[in-house]
Amino acid sequence: EAQVTQNPRYLITVTGKKLTVTCSQNMNHEYMSWYRQDPGLGLRQIYYSMNVEVTDKGDVPEGYKVSRKEKRNFPLILESPSPNQTSLYFCASSLSRGTGQPQHFGDGTRLSIL
């Protein structure tokens, strides 16, 4: 089954404790991206990757890191989480650049930073 898998689904942690949210897709997609969803703001892009070893900032990259060492994986790293990073996070992937192919989303990760 074609899917984007995120883990964990839920996480409650404390300020400053490094955490990683994993994302993996099995569709051989080149493009992967992270979004955060906040009430009244919709979804906003954090980082994206056009291919292996190619990553770039989205609209709200502060406090986050990513890496793309393999085509299928695109982890989101919060080196020193703060309460303003409490949010619902989505990983997404799509086939190719500039053709408007629909993005496939993971099921979301609810992060609470205390």
Partner 1 sequence: AQTVTQSQPEMSVQEAETVTLSCTYDTSENNYYLFWYKQPPSRQMILVIRQEAYKQQNATENRFSVNFQKAAKSFSLKISDSQLGDTAMYFCAFSSNFGNEKLTFGTGTRLTIIP
In the complex, minimum distance from the CB of residue 54 to partner 1, in angstroms, rounded to a whole number: 11
Q: Give the shortest CB-60-to-partner 1 separation in angstroms.
A: 11
Instruction: Print burial letters for 10-28: b (CB count within 10 Å at least 16), e (below 16).
Output: ebeeeeeeebebebbbeee
C-beta closer to partner 1: residue 70 or 107: 107
**End-to-end alpha carbon distance in the chain:** 36
Of 17 and 74, the one with the shorter C-beta distance to partner 1 is 74
Least Å distance between CB 49 and partner 1?
A: 10
Whether 103 contacts 92, CB under 8 Å:
yes
Nearer to partner 1, 1 or 40 (CB): 40
Q: 94 with 112: CB under 8 angstroms?
A: no
Position of tokens 């569709």?
27
Q: Is the dihedral of CA 4, 93, 25, 9 positive or negative?
A: negative
Nearer to partner 1, 8 or 16 (CB): 8
Residues near partner 1, by CB under 8 A: 31, 33, 35, 40-45, 48, 50, 56, 58-59, 88, 90, 92, 94, 97-98, 100-103, 105, 107-108
Q: How far is the CB of 78 from partner 1 (least distance, A)?
A: 20
